[in-house]
Amino acid sequence: MTEARMAVQQALFDRQGLMRTLGAQVVHASPGEVHVRVPLTDATTQHDDFMHAGAFTAVMDSACGAAALGLWDDAVGVLTSEFKVNFLRPARGDVTARGRVLKSGRTQTVCIAEAWATGRGGADELIAVMTATMVPVRPR
């Protein structure tokens, strides 16, 4: 991945108000793969003090979008066409979403994301998996 593509990825991520609100940060970026971490805080919990599924699902979506954007040479943005999430267990701690591209195409890209949470005893637990289709936004 070129420095220019990485700059486009980071700029796109930095413009997302929701990611700022959640306190999410990119912790890894490589061609076709991005990891985003979100802390468990009062702002991200649900009624049982687990992380709200909406919070980490949004982070999974953003990780997939950033991963896809890194492989399109001419795209200036990315939109989600669809996604599906399977929830496996509650998120008891901070969550890291690991998004990666399965198949990149000119008009759409299929990605997967795994969400890993710090569980009891400090070990990471797989809490959710996502499949997502991303479409490029190109200059007109």
Helix 3-14 vs helix 53-69: crossing angle, to nearest 10: 150
Mean pLDDT estimate for the chain:
92
Domains and CATH numbers, the chain: 3-137 (3.10.129.10)
Neighbours of 43 (CB within 10 A): 12
Q: For residue 138, what pLDDT is reported?
A: 86
Residue type, 2: T
Dump pLDDT digits (tens) for 117-140: 998 788 899 999 999 999 999 887
Residue 62 has a pLDDT of 96
**Sign of the dihedral through C-alpha 79, 83, 88, 90:** positive
Closest listed residue to residue 36, CA positions, set 50, 47, 24: 24
Cross-sheet strand order for the sheet of 33-38:
25-30, 33-38, 95-104, 109-118, 124-137, 77-87
